[in-house]
Structure 1
């Protein structure tokens, strides 16, 4: 269990996701949640570190839009169904882009990532099938099949015959004077000539339409009706042949669904890694280190949602310490420090670099949080009730592999009662070796922490000269 909302986790992911070049990558990143699997995280950070080094050594990433072809591939499995030419083009573009990325990372600078890329089997039969059917303009090739080639030949020949006949009407002294414009046009897929309305009936044929003013009539002469009908028939046959071609290509795509989805997954992974690298560069991030000991160490941690004049957080909780109490004035930065700790732990366990000079953390199975303000006097009862409800869930669910973060421990009720409750909760968690960080302004909680060998006190500084907080967290009194 990880309380993501309490620490603006998704807002930070959205910042990183803006560096992705494709929506499918943005969505994949936005769906990322913390993991407690060290092996997966080690691999994620190895890939990121290697790509960072490769770019520093001169590698120029290729950024190109990735198409979310997974729904298309699923549709391709349906018998006698076919994708559109545009959709087939998307699949082709992904395959080509994958080849570009494979070549880019083949020089050994990003070995971990390249091992993943090498495992992908590119279905060349799909590429061959697409290339034989669709040209670079994303249209079905005229010679995709012998049948289609012959149909296209007949269509061109029939059109030439019609155009020759129509040209005779336009240039003939006998009929030319009836014509409004000296050009052939097409209405409802049939060749027609524009004639002046007052010459209606002078050329035998069928009126298919008229202009908005009614001055021009669009006439199909009887002499080309048979040829027009022939074109309609040939076009229908061509549509059927193209459908057969697209069904054949689609069937090949469906048979290679696994490989095509694998290509998509790797392309998305590369896009996500490059997005993380851009975030890492812009926010001066480090790659977190994981420890087998239950500890959290932050040096120069900067909350990414704070835009200007960010005061870095230095924090340390190491054995035998399993609890930290943060004290200080209201609006002095206690809550920001607490949220920074929680956010960075979850980012680290999600495979993201963190905006800090250094981070060392235990791999927590869960992160429990109770974050909020004290509320107004009118809201105090509901605030305290909600606070106690959250605390109960924490007490019932947390263990020594959890991290517990509580803002304003015991707040929302009488200070004496709140301090006593806060002290009892803190003692319960620490006595069970559950890592816990709390903020408080209750003296009784602070005094209890000072007497415990397993709890340390941190405070946010206050400048007596200016009577303003400095927002700097200092470990110890």
Structure 2
């Protein structure tokens, strides 16, 4: 059974807190990992998580940042479907592998032994990154010298283009009266010259296009048709070699799919720890001392969603005092205090530092709440009936390992009846 049920998760607005913490992550990987956090009741796991957060806080103080990591899983899925990837996508793979290597190095020092053990599980993909870098430049384009064959084809294309260009310039010089504009351009992948509309009867030409007005013809001399055909063949050969390179790199990527997917899980965890560490430092949050004796002790605790408007509270209960009653005038902060207590416990059991100067918190098996107004039009329940139904459900499932938060118990009915209900509950 979950520590929080949907009603309590909504009452405490835990998802809003998770979104706030996720904003401190360096990547979408970390953001999603934070958003998926949920309270657990295993004290040992929570303490191990806080030990990692504490080490990460030390690393962040020392200037650590995860760098440019990206989620490679969508690219792996695309490569499996298409058989290749775009050059810029492969560049993202290389950049993530390189950032992962730098991250692992930064967290492998003696001051962060637990994090070092975590990054020690990352696979070494240095050779894959080198292969990609040899073929793809920093702009995300295939290098001309990516392979010996591509280098040779590119050289031949340059030479062939220069020969055709020189021949076209000679044609322009000899037939200036026929030339609309002394430039060389492309139409249909072929090198052509803009000629006046009457030129086709004066010299042998192959016309590939014309202007909208029909006054300009884009043509090549018949003597250069074979050379232009050869240039197109070279371009086709280059295109096929580029496709082969992309497919080969995608194949190498997919050969490492299992390890890379495992790396993504580890990177998500590291970035989620980074987000929580940054959150703790930015919000002056504390790592709580965990307890099993029912104590809840918060000193200078602040509601995490109120920011600078939050009024710090100090509250202690548990142990011999298993019930705490919060009283005061309307708008005096009773509900905020109740939510601060619940959120502090939920955050701690999610491995998130608590916004307080000090905290001692019991690890609860269940946290349940009845806070705020909740009417059910579909079930024809009044506010009071809705509260009673919720409270009856709470009483049926809680035990001595549970935290129950009740706001304005017995409200919505006659005060005497409400008081009697409160006492019986």
Query: TM-score, with normalisation over the residues of structure 1?
Result: 0.81
Local SS of the residue matching 1:323:
coil
Cα distance 1:201–1:418, how it changes in 2: closer, same or farther (>3 A)?
Answer: farther
- Aligned residues, how many? 416
Tell me: CA distance 1:213–1:201, structure 2 relative to 1, closer, same or farther (3 Å). Answer: same
Cα shift readout 1:97-129 (whole Å, capped 9, x = no counterpart): 011112222332222111111121213342243
Match of 1:135 in 2: 137
Alignment of 1:86-165 (within 5 A): 86-165=88-167
Equivalent position of 1:262 in the other structure: 262
Are 1:70 and 2:73 counterparts? yes
Counterpart of 2:355 in 1: which secondary structure?
A: coil
1:349: which partner in 2? 349
1:233 corresponding residue in structure 2:
233
- Structure 1 position 420, deviation (Å): 1.4
Instruction: Quote how far apart the aligned CAs of 1:198 are.
Output: 4.3
SS at match of 1:220: strand
In structure 1, the partner of 2:10 is 5
Question: Larger relative contact order (C-alpha < 8 A, sep ≥ 6)?
Answer: 2
Aligned to 1:178: 178
Report the 3-state secondary structure (helix = DSSP H, G, I; strand = E; otherwise coil) of the residue aligned with 1:231: helix
For 2:385, the equivalent position in structure 1 comes to: 385
Tell me the secondary structure at the aligned position of residue 245 of structure 2. Answer: helix
Instruction: Write the distance in 2 (CA, Å) between the matches of 1:381 and 1:95.
Output: 56
Equivalent residue for 1:305? Answer: 305
Q: Kindly indicate whether the alpha-carbon contact (under 8 Å) linking 2:299 and 2:359 is maintained by their aligned counterparts in 1.
A: yes
Q: CA deviation at 1:400?
A: 2.2
Give the 3-state SS of the residue equivalent to 1:51 in structure 2.
Answer: helix
Matched residue, 1:221: 221
- Secondary structure (helix, strand or coil) at the match of 1:311 reads coil
Equivalent position of 2:395 in the other structure: 395
Alpha-carbon spacing, 1:212–1:41, altered in 2? closer, same or farther (3 Å):
farther
Aligned counterpart for 1:19 among listed residues 21, 24, 45: 24
Cα separation, partners in 2 of 1:120 and 1:374, compared to 1, 3 Å: closer
Q: 1:75 to 1:309 in 2, by over 3 A?
A: closer
Whether contact under 8 Å (2:91, 2:133) holds in the other structure is no
- Is 1:32 the counterpart of 2:43? The answer is no
Distance 2:125 2:29 in 1: 22
Give yes or no for contact 1:411–1:418 (8 Å, CA) kept in 2.
Answer: yes
Aligned to 2:50: 45
What does residue range 322-471 of structure 1 map to in structure 2 within 5 Å?
Answer: 322-373=322-373, 382-425=382-425
More strand by share: 1
Please give the per-residue CA displacement for 1:295-348, whole angstroms capped at 9, x wherever unaligned: 211111011222344321111122122222222222211101000011111111
Q: Shift of residue 387 of structure 1?
A: 0.6
Cα distance in structure 1, aligned partners of 2:121 and 2:28: 25
Contact 1:120 1:263 (C-alpha < 8 Å) held by counterparts = yes
Q: CA deviation at 1:200?
A: 4.4
Asked if 2 retains the 8 angstrom alpha-carbon contact of 1:21 and 1:64, the reply is yes
- How far apart, in 1, do the equivalents of 2:80 and 2:209 lie? 44
Please give the per-residue CA displacement for 1:20-77, whole angstroms capped at 9, x wherever unaligned.
2323322221222112233332222112212323444xx2223533211112123434
Gap runs ≥5 in structure 2? none
What secondary structure does 1:326 align onto? Answer: coil
Structure 2 CA distance for aligned equivalents of residues 246 and 145 of structure 1: 12
Distance 1:293 1:68 in 2: 42
**Aligned mates of 1:381, 1:407 — CA distance in 2:** 18
- 3-state SS, counterpart of residue 324 of structure 1: coil
**Partner residue in 2 for 1:81:** 83
Cα distance in 1, alignment partners of residues 319 and 102 from structure 2: 49
- By how many angstroms is 1:236 displaced? 2.3
Deviations 1:180-204 (A, max 9, x none): 2222111221111111234343342
Answer whether contact 1:381 1:412 (CA < 8 A) is retained. no
String of CA shifts for 1:406-455, please: whole Å, max 9, x gaps. 11111111212222122111xxxxxxxxxxxxxxxxxxxxxxxxxxxxxx
Partner of 1:61: 64
Hey, what's the Cα distance between the residues in 1 that align with 2:381 and 2:53?
Answer: 48
**TM-score (structure 2 length as normaliser):** 0.91
